[in-house]
Amino acid sequence: MAGQLISGRHAVEEALKHPERVNRLYVAKDSKVRDRDALLDAARAGGVVFDFIPLAKLNVLARGEEHQGVAVEISPIAYAPLESILEAPAPAMVLALDQVQHPRNLGMILRSAAGAGASGVLLPVRGGALLDDSLIRSSAGAVFHVPVASCNNLAQTLRDMKDAGYWVFGLDAGGKASLFQQRWPDKSVLVMGGESKGLRPGVAKLCDDLLSIPLAHGFDSLNVAVAAGIALFQCAEGQRRP
């Protein structure tokens, strides 16, 4: 279990008032939970992921503490408000991760994002890695140096980024344009797909362009963390040019 577990209905209710610090809500699926629907509504409103798990598993997670059928995992790192990334002054470079699942990859990506001077990183609340203790270790603390915001719906968040003046570029092996020939706007979003499936079709359709990294013959893809590092520094350098 990564992060701190807080259990009990009242404690969980208070924690959900600060969703930027909550990684996940756990609800015992085979136990009657008082005010369960209200807790779930609060989780939805705050963009908090929730899981229904067996009572026996919740007993193990709670380590003998009284939990009343509910518990939350608190992140050691606070998520940044999405608005602070949307409103970042130009030049602004934002990295959006479409279901990157492995903490080690995410840690490496965050180190690159911090080193390249990214304005922020967007993480969907479902389908990807979360901010927890393992991420602090894998990023060697870099997670404290770049704002990370969670989003309920990545596609809608990308639309919001466009409305705020950002251009959105997806990294995809099938992209027709070369990453190294791209002229980078002062407000750019780079979107990286997950380890196994890459960009989801619905996310790819929202990109203003799909870019690829030209590879030597015989190679068809790079690790997502390696590709993200290349793209971030290329974009940062491009934004510095007159």
Instruction: Compute the half-sphere exposure of residue 167: CA atoms within 13 Å on the CB side of its CA.
Output: 16
pLDDT tens for 192-208 read 998 888 899 999 999 99
CATH 3.40.1280.10 fits 82-240, yes or no: yes
Cis peptide before 185 (omega within 30 of 0): no
CB of 69 closer than 8 Å to CB of 27: yes
Structure confidence at residue 3 (pLDDT)? 63
Residue-by-residue DSSP string for 82-135: HHHHHTPPSSEEEEEEES---HHHHHHHHHHHHHHT-SEEEEESSSS--SSHHH
Torsion of CA 65, 66, 68, 71, to 10 degrees: -30
Structure confidence at residue 75 (pLDDT)? 77
Structure confidence at residue 65 (pLDDT)? 81
Instruction: Report d(CA 162, CA 186) in Å as an integer.
Output: 13
Give CATH 3.30.1330.30 domain extents, the chain. Answer: 4-74
Closest of 62, 6, 56 to residue 30, by C-alpha: 56
Closest of 180, 182, 207 to residue 192, by C-alpha: 207
Structure confidence at residue 1 (pLDDT)? 43
Give CATH 3.40.1280.10 domain extents, the chain. Answer: 82-240
Q: What's the CATH number for 4-74?
A: 3.30.1330.30
- Tell me the pTM: 0.74
Low-confidence ranges of the chain (pLDDT < 50): 1
Instruction: Report d(CA 116, CA 29) in Å as an integer.
Output: 44
pLDDT tens for 138-184 read 788 788 889 999 888 999 999 999 999 999 999 998 899 999 999 99
